[in-house]
Structure 1
């Protein structure tokens, strides 16, 4: 478990529910929970909140053993009132009394007023921790001009092609835990057959995916992996019985292109 700056704890790896449909998300999250995942990540814009809620409610796992994240999708008009309204809609879709972590999905709208609303939701016990997603240093600086609560988490695109190490370090220095979305780069650029990663994986008798996720953990990130395949769901969390050397971490760092795989996201 990783300790957040609000003294709550979050699992070291999570399962992402940005999957093709609500029904597919329900099936995949059910498999993830059955196989040991306890951090589940969804969002308003994914369209999978109901499926995630169904999976949690049908899992037989006590709610307080599951760490549930969702996110508000803001636009140019999003403010205090609309943030509260959107959160309550998410809560109804999730069929829960609270969420463990609520994030601003993108730095759009009036982020300071969105954050003020989230602070109040946290104060009222509807949210345990609050954070942000896709915020850069400038966005975080703007947020902190009025924030009373430091974000617990910043969820960012991070993978070998775009590691965002400077932003990761910036967050860690301020007590903000970075999470990695698209941790496996969705398999783009033939990443699972990359010779650098394959050589490291062979050395440790692990898969390329496991090496990437381990690289995240050792850099201080919480990786979010997703799959609808039960064997891969299990494989992706089997990353705590080996350790990459500093040289191997630097080899992966050197793969960085400095270019997002999702420009304009």
Structure 2
């Protein structure tokens, strides 16, 4: 395989032998790939590849080889975005971890690629939004639901899966991952995978404001959990650690 200037994003990088690095990248035509960047550690200071190969930026990558691990032969910038900071940066790490955990190698996912690029741009814009937290949460939920849909893990938000009846706003439903919603007689606690019909309808319409946003977050976690496995997400732990740290005033 020999590929030139493939649109891609860097998901993760780590040291490898002989002053090289292993790169996990997500490309538009070849899906998630493992690349060896030879000599990258030695050339990183001031070197062109070290400057270009940054996460959360559109890239154009060239690579070649056979098997599971290919060799990076070139890298160029595919565009510029303002640098991510604070909660937006932590949110972007979360998106990368989702892709690393859920995408299979060499599986083309152009719709996910497009959704990821849009999410990174939305996170960048959210920093300057009137309500940054709400904008961040909305960006995350849009990407998560798109990812679930494209990977085949989504459920029908329009009907009760056990009876085939439309979702009614004034009723309550339990979510069964990989199956759908079934009506329940009583309202469950907020910590359960239970939702009002009105919440489900709002989420289906992409409205993630207020209580709908909190419900969407619970719904996404319930849908992703069977596919992420028992190992906690490191990015989620990072976010909780940062939020728990005392501010300068508290110090």
Q: Same-fold call, TM > 0.5? A: no
Structure with the largest fraction of helix:
1
TM class, shorter-length? under 0.3
Structure with the largest fraction of strand:
2
Greater RCO between the two (CA within 8 Å, min separation 6)?
1
